[in-house]
Amino acid sequence: AQKITQTQPGMFVQEKEAVTLDCTYDTSDQSYGLFWYKQPSSGEMIFLIYQGSYDEQNATEGRYSLNFQKARKSANLVISASQLGDSAMYFCAMREGLSTGTASKLTFGTGTRLQVTL
């Protein structure tokens, strides 16, 4: 079974509009972390936002917010006021095994390619 599922291979959004990128996850751990990364065409991985499994409030970082629905095991990324520079691949990731004291496994989804249009 996929640990991280991103069902949108590609998305288009107009500049200045908001967009939601979907992510669902599967884990039996009680303690885990969810991350979103951006990968522009240059290839580097850029960290955007983090949500801990114990956090009751949704995480926000500037124009990025994470819509965390624990019971549904979803962690969708919301980008507000899209900019042309937001065009990139976006990956959802989960870090498990945080409470075990051993290596915490970090698993990525297959990504969503976002294109921002004028």
Partner 1 sequence: NAGVTQTPKFQVLKTGQSMTLQCAQDMNHNSMYWYRQDPGMGLRLIYYSASEGTTDKGEVPNGYNVSRLNKREFSLRLESAAPSQTSVYFCATSGGGEFNPTEAFFGQGTRLTVV
Pick between residue 28 and residue 102 the one whose CB is nearest to partner 1.
102
User: Least Å distance between CB 71 and partner 1?
Assistant: 21
Dihedral class, residue 87 (left if φ above 0, else alpha if ψ from -120 to 50, else beta)? beta
Pick between residue 43 and residue 118 the one whose CB is nearest to partner 1.
43
Half-sphere exposure of 113 (CA within 13 A, CB side): 3
User: Least Å distance between CB 65 and partner 1?
Assistant: 16
User: Least Å distance between CB 62 and partner 1?
Assistant: 15
Distances (CA, A) of 68 to 1, 18, 75, 100: 21, 17, 5, 23
Measured CA angle at 32 (ends 2, 99), to 5 deg: 125
User: Least Å distance between CB 25 and partner 1?
Assistant: 13
Pick between residue 31 and residue 87 the one whose CB is nearest to partner 1.
31
Q: Which residues bind partner 1 (CB under 8 A)?
A: 6, 9, 31, 33, 35, 37, 43-45, 47, 50, 52, 54, 91, 93, 95, 98-99, 102-111
CA R_g for the chain: 14
